[in-house]
Structure 1
Amino acid sequence: MRLSRRAVMMGGAAFLGAPALAGFATRRALAADASLDAGRLSHEIVAGKPTADMMSFAADGPPPVLRMTQHQPYTIDVTNRLDEVTTVHWHGLRIANEMDGVPYLTQAPIEGGETCRYRYTAPDAGTFWYHPHCNTLEQMARGMTGVLIVEEAEDPGFDRDIPLNIRDFRLGENGTFLSLYTPRNAARGGTTGTVATVDWRREPVHDLPAGSLVRLRLAVTDTARIATYDIDGGEADGAEARLIALDANPLAGALPSKGFVLAPGQRADVALRVPDREGAVVTLSRRRFGEAAPLARFRAVGASAGRDLAELQPLPPNPVAEPDLDKAEVLDFLFGWTPGGDGPLPSICGTLGYTFWSINRKPWRGDVPDPAAPLAEMRLGRSYILRMKNETPNSHPIHLHGHTFKLLRSNQRKLPPWWTDTVLMQPQEVLEVALVADNPGDWAFHCHVIEHQKTGFSGYLRVNA
C-alpha cells in the first residue's frame, strides 16, 4: 500500500532524523563513490576582495565535478554543514523518484549535521549538473551549483575533457554580495548577476596541447542569465569547433559553435580542435543585448598533435523511448501570472514572500509537507504531448524532472526534433513536446529562472505506476 505524501511527510521529527525513504540515511559502513559537504566559505572572485558567506559543496572552493559512467551504479554522500536545511537535485538525470532531491515531494530536507546517501544508476551519458532544491535561490546564488558528467561506456576519442561551470555572482566592487534578487526583477525576467565566472574564475585561460581534440562541456548553472554564446578564434591556425550535444543528448549532425543560446539549466558539448600554432587562442564569449564579453580562453601550447575532428567517434544516442504520437494524449499547460489571492506558505525551504507566477492559474505556494495536487497525472508507459502556452512577455526555461522529451512544434519557429529536459520558451509562444511517461513518481515541473520558480512558477506531474 502506498502511503499518502501527507502521511509520510507529517511523520515529524522522528521522520526527519531517520532513514524513512530508501537510500536516505546516515553514513553507512561502505564508502560512497563521492562525498559532498555543503557549507559556507570565504573565496576570492573579485581580485583582492574575498567574498564572505559563499556556499559550496566543498570546503575550499567551487563544488567538485562529479564523474560517473553510464549504466554503472553510483553513490554520493551529502553532509549538510550549513545552518539551514538543503537537498541535492541531479538536473537532467532520469533516476528513481526518491533520489530526485525535491523537498517533501521526494524526500525530507537534509537537516544541519545530517548525512544523506543518494544512490542511482544513470541511464544516459552526457553533461548534467547538480544544485539544491531547498532554499534554492539563496544557496544557488551563493555558489552551490556543480557539474556532473556521465561518461559514455566507449571512449569517443578526445584528448582532454573540460567541464565549464558558467554562472554569475551578484557582487559589488568590494566583493560583498549585493541583494540576491529584487521583487521587480522577479516579476519580470529575473535578477542577473554582476560578475561573470567560469568555475568561479573570471576569464580563466586553459593551456591545451596544440592540434589536440578537446571536449568542452558548458553547463549554465546560473539563476537567471539567458544569453548567446560563441566559441571562435584560431581558425587561421587550424582551430575548429562544433556543437555535438545539447542538454546531454547527442545531435544528429554537428552544428556551428557560434550564436547558440543557453538558458539556466541548459548544457552544450563542443568538440574543439585546438589551433596548431603555439600561443594561438580560442575564446568562449557571451553576448547580451548585442555586447560580447569573453568568459574563458583556450590557448595552444607545444608542438601540434595534428589531430582531426573526423577521428572522433559519434556520440551514441541515449536510450530514450520514442513517443507514439498517434496515440499520445495531449496535456495543456498555461504559464502566466498569478491570479491573486493567497501568498506563499511559510516553509523550512524558504520563501521570497511573493507569488507572481502560476501554471494553469495555480501558483506553487512553497515547499511544504503537504504539497498541492499534481498539475496532471500520467499512466506509466503511455505517450503524452505537453502543449505549453507562455502568455507572458518573458522567456522561460522550462524543466521537467525525471524525463527527457522531444521537441515537436511551435507557433513561432521551426523546431528541430531534439531531445532535452529543459526548453527555453519565447514570449507568447505555444510549444509542444512529446514524451513517454516511463519513470513513476511525482516529478517537479518548473521554470529554471529561480526567482520565477520560488514565486509560483512550479508544480509537479505524477506518473502512476
Structure 2
Amino acid sequence: MLGLSRRELLLGSAGTATAFATGGLIGLEANAADMTLPITRFDHSIVSGEITKGIMGFGKDAPPPVLRMRQGQPFSVDVVNELNEASVVHWHGMRIPNQMDGVPYLTQTPIEPGESFRYSFTPPDAGTYWYHPHCNTLEQMARGLTGVMVVEDAEDPGFDQDLPLNIRDFRLGGDGQFIALFKPRSAARGGTLGTVSTINWNVAPVYDLPAGSLVRLRLAVTDLTRVGTYDLNGGEAEVIALDSNPLPLTAVNLKTPEGVILAPGQRADIALRVPDSEEQVVTLTRRTPKGPKVLASFHPVGASANRSLAELKPLALNPIPEADLANAEIVEFVFGWTPDGTTPEPSICGSLGYTFWSINRVAWEGDTPGPVDPLAVFKQGKSYILRLRNETQNAHPIHLHGLSFKLLRSNKRAIPPLITDTALLMKGETMEVALVADNPGNWAFHCHVIEHQKTGLTGYIRVDA
C-alpha cells in the first residue's frame, strides 16, 4: 500500500462490495433508510439525584437504542452527526462490506458536524452485537456512545422475552459529573477503570419478568477498559452463545452462567428460566476483591408460565467458513510496548498524546489520511492461522473487524473451539486462532481496551480480492 493514502483506498479495494451484502453512501440512494440515528449531546441522570452534563448519545434520550434487524434481511441507517466534532459508527462483530465498517480513513472519511452517512448492509450472522464510534473514540465512548445491536435468528428459538444488557462504566465524581476520562499511567498498564457501573445506563436496575417464563439475556460489555467475571445467581439458566456464536457441543463447561469472563467488546447470551416464586430473585453480579457486586436484579412476577429450557430450539450455526488447517499459512502478531521515540500524529479523530503500545513493534500513528502499511496482506478465500503473542503483563482483548476466527490453542490454558471476533489474551499468553479470509478490504485489528487502542495497539489487515 506504499504511496497510497487511506483516503485514496476508499476509492479502491477497501470500498468494494463483498458477497455478503451491498451498501451505499447517503445521497446515492433514493429510498429512505430503515431508521435515522442522530449522534447528540445532552444532560442525563446516571447517579441518583445528580444530572450529568456533557453526555453523548445515539438518539435524543438515554440509553442508546437497541438496534434490531433480522439475519439475511437488508438494513440501512442514516447516521446524522449533531456533535461539534467528527465521528463515525462501527458495527462491532459484524461481517459486512468494508465500506460500511465505520473506521475513519481506512473505510470512510469521518462524518463531519452537520453531515450524514448511510450505512447499508445485510447481516449474514445472527446474534448479539454492539455499535460505537471509531473517531475520537475514547472521549465519545466514555461519554456514552455505546449501544447494543441484535440480529434476530432466522428461526425463532422460542423465548418469551429478549432483554439486552448494555454493561459499562462511567467515570463520574461524587457530584455526578465526568472526571478525567483516563490517566496516562493507567493507559500504559491495564487501563483506567470507571467509577460507576451501569446496566443500560442504570445503577443496579431491577427488572420484573413473568414468573416461569423463558428470557434471553444478552450481555454486551461495551466498557472501555474493564475485564470482569460475571455470575448469574438464582433460577435455572445456561449460556447459549458467546460473541454472537452458539456454543460448540464440546464446550459443556462454558454453559454454566457462573464465572463468565467477558472483556471489552465481548458478549454472552444466557437463556434464563425465571423462577416460579416472587421470592426467588435472580441477580447478575461481577466479582470484585470486596465480594460480588450486584449489577442487576430480575424479579419474578405473576402466575408461573411453567416454561422449560428444554422447549427452546438450538441456535443455528452462523455461516462462517471452516479454515483448512492442513494448508493454512501461519502469520505472527506480537502485542507489546512501543519502541522508544514514537509519537502520535495529530488527527481529526483525536489523539491521547501518548504512545505506549505496538503490534509487531510498530505503533499506530493515529487516524490520519496519510499512508500506513498493513500488518499483513491476506488472499481472499485462503486459510490462515494467526499466532497472537502477548509480550506484556496486561490483558488485551484483541478484536478483528469484518472477519470471524476460531480459537485453536494457547500456551497458558485449555481453550474451547469458540468462534469469535474478540479474543482475550492474558499476560504472557500466546494463542493461535484460525480463519478464512473471505471478506475483502482493509480490516482494523486492535486491542479493545480503548486507551491501548488509542496509544498504539492498533493496525489493520488487508484482504485482497
Q: TM-score range by the shorter chain?
A: over 0.9
Corresponding residue number in structure 2 for 1:424: 424
| Corresponding letter in the other structure for 1:207 | D
- Partner of 1:24, secondary structure, is coil
Corresponding residue number in structure 2 for 1:93: 94
Corresponding residue number in structure 1 for 2:246: 250
Q: Distance in 2 between matches of 1:349 and 1:193?
A: 22
User: 1:292: how far off?
Assistant: 1.2
Please give the per-residue CA displacement for 1:52-99, whole angstroms capped at 9, x wherever unaligned.
Answer: 000001112121000000011000110000000000000000000000
Q: How does 1:164-183 map to 2 (within 5 A)?
A: 164-183=165-184
Corresponding residue number in structure 2 for 1:240: 236
| Corresponding letter in the other structure for 2:400 | L
| Number of matched pairs | 449
Q: How does 1:310-321 map to 2 (within 5 A)?
A: 310-321=310-321
Is 1:228 equivalent to 2:224 in the alignment?
A: no
Corresponding residue number in structure 2 for 1:347: 347
Q: Distance in 2 between matches of 1:10 and 1:65?
A: 29
User: 1:30: how far off?
Assistant: 2.2
- Partner of 2:368, secondary structure, is coil
Corresponding residue number in structure 2 for 1:40: 41
Contact kept? 2:5, 2:372, Cα under 8 Å: no
Corresponding residue number in structure 2 for 1:17: none
Q: For residues 31 and 279 of structure 1, do their structure 2 counterparts lie closer, same or farther at Cα, with a shift above 3 Å needed?
A: farther
Please give the per-residue CA displacement for 1:178-223, whole angstroms capped at 9, x wherever unaligned.
Answer: 1000000000000010000000001111111100000000000000
| Corresponding letter in the other structure for 1:67 | R
Q: How does 1:94-173 map to 2 (within 5 A)?
A: 94-173=95-174
Contact kept? 2:232, 2:284, Cα under 8 Å: yes
Corresponding residue number in structure 2 for 1:70: 71
Contact kept? 1:45, 1:175, Cα under 8 Å: yes
Corresponding residue number in structure 2 for 1:14: none
User: 1:371: how far off?
Assistant: 3.9
Please give the per-residue CA displacement for 1:89-140, whole angstroms capped at 9, x wherever unaligned.
Answer: 0000000000000000000000000111000000000000000000000000
Q: Distance in 1 between matches of 2:107 and 2:449?
A: 21
Q: Distance in 1 between matches of 2:171 and 2:119?
A: 31
Q: For residues 129 and 423 of structure 1, do their structure 2 counterparts lie closer, same or farther at Cα, with a shift above 3 Å needed?
A: same
TM-score, normalised on structure 1? 0.94
User: 1:28: how far off?
Assistant: 5.3
- Partner of 1:326, secondary structure, is helix
User: 1:287: how far off?
Assistant: 0.9
| Corresponding letter in the other structure for 1:242 | E
Contact kept? 2:10, 2:106, Cα under 8 Å: no
Corresponding residue number in structure 2 for 1:204: 205
TM-score, normalised on structure 2? 0.94
Contact kept? 1:216, 1:272, Cα under 8 Å: yes
User: 1:23: how far off?
Assistant: 1.7
- Partner of 2:45, secondary structure, is strand
User: 1:340: how far off?
Assistant: 1.2
Q: Distance in 2 between matches of 1:283 and 1:9?
A: 48
| Corresponding letter in the other structure for 1:341 | G
Deviates more, 1:93-102 or 1:277-286: 277-286
Is 1:451 equivalent to 2:451 in the alignment?
A: yes
Contact kept? 2:328, 2:385, Cα under 8 Å: yes
Please give the per-residue CA displacement for 1:26-59, whole angstroms capped at 9, x wherever unaligned.
Answer: 4954221122110101000111110000000111
Is 1:192 equivalent to 2:188 in the alignment?
A: no
Is 1:434 equivalent to 2:434 in the alignment?
A: yes
Q: Distance in 2 between matches of 1:318 and 1:97?
A: 19
User: 1:367: how far off?
Assistant: 0.2
- Partner of 2:46, secondary structure, is strand
| Corresponding letter in the other structure for 1:194 | T
Contact kept? 2:444, 2:459, Cα under 8 Å: yes
Q: Distance in 2 between matches of 1:82 and 1:7?
A: 23
Deviates more, 1:244-253 or 1:76-85: 244-253
| Corresponding letter in the other structure for 2:84 | D
Contact kept? 2:283, 2:298, Cα under 8 Å: yes
Corresponding residue number in structure 2 for 1:271: 271
Q: Distance in 2 between matches of 1:258 and 1:314?
A: 21
Please give the per-residue CA displacement for 1:422-457, whole angstroms capped at 9, x wherever unaligned.
Answer: 010000001100000000000000000000000000
Corresponding residue number in structure 1 for 2:14: none
Q: Distance in 2 between matches of 1:436 and 1:127?
A: 22
Please give the per-residue CA displacement for 1:135-177, whole angstroms capped at 9, x wherever unaligned.
Answer: 0000000000000000011100000000000000000110000
| Corresponding letter in the other structure for 1:246 | L
Q: Distance in 2 between matches of 1:68 and 1:4?
A: 36
Q: Distance in 1 between matches of 2:6 and 2:256?
A: 50
User: 1:290: how far off?
Assistant: 5.6
Corresponding residue number in structure 1 for 2:25: 24
Contact kept? 1:105, 1:371, Cα under 8 Å: no
Q: Distance in 1 between matches of 2:399 and 2:256?
A: 25
Cα root mean square deviation, aligned: 1.5
Contact kept? 2:159, 2:214, Cα under 8 Å: yes
| Corresponding letter in the other structure for 2:247 | L
| Corresponding letter in the other structure for 1:313 | K
| Corresponding letter in the other structure for 2:239 | L
Q: Distance in 2 between matches of 1:217 and 1:282?
A: 15
Q: Distance in 1 between matches of 2:371 and 2:216?
A: 41
Percent of residue pairs identical:
63
- Partner of 1:98, secondary structure, is helix
Deviates more, 1:56-65 or 1:179-188: 56-65
Contact kept? 1:403, 1:421, Cα under 8 Å: yes
| Corresponding letter in the other structure for 2:294 | P
| Corresponding letter in the other structure for 2:246 | P
Contact kept? 1:96, 1:439, Cα under 8 Å: yes
Q: For residues 283 and 22 of structure 1, do their structure 2 counterparts lie closer, same or farther at Cα, with a shift above 3 Å needed?
A: closer
Higher relative contact order (CA 8 A, sep 6+): 2
Q: Distance in 1 between matches of 2:94 and 2:418?
A: 17
Please give the per-residue CA displacement for 1:366-398, whole angstroms capped at 9, x wherever unaligned.
Answer: 000024100000000000000011000000000
Q: Distance in 2 between matches of 1:373 and 1:460?
A: 8
Q: How does 1:1-12 map to 2 (within 5 A)?
A: 4-6=4-6, 8=8
Q: For residues 23 and 416 of structure 1, do their structure 2 counterparts lie closer, same or farther at Cα, with a shift above 3 Å needed?
A: same
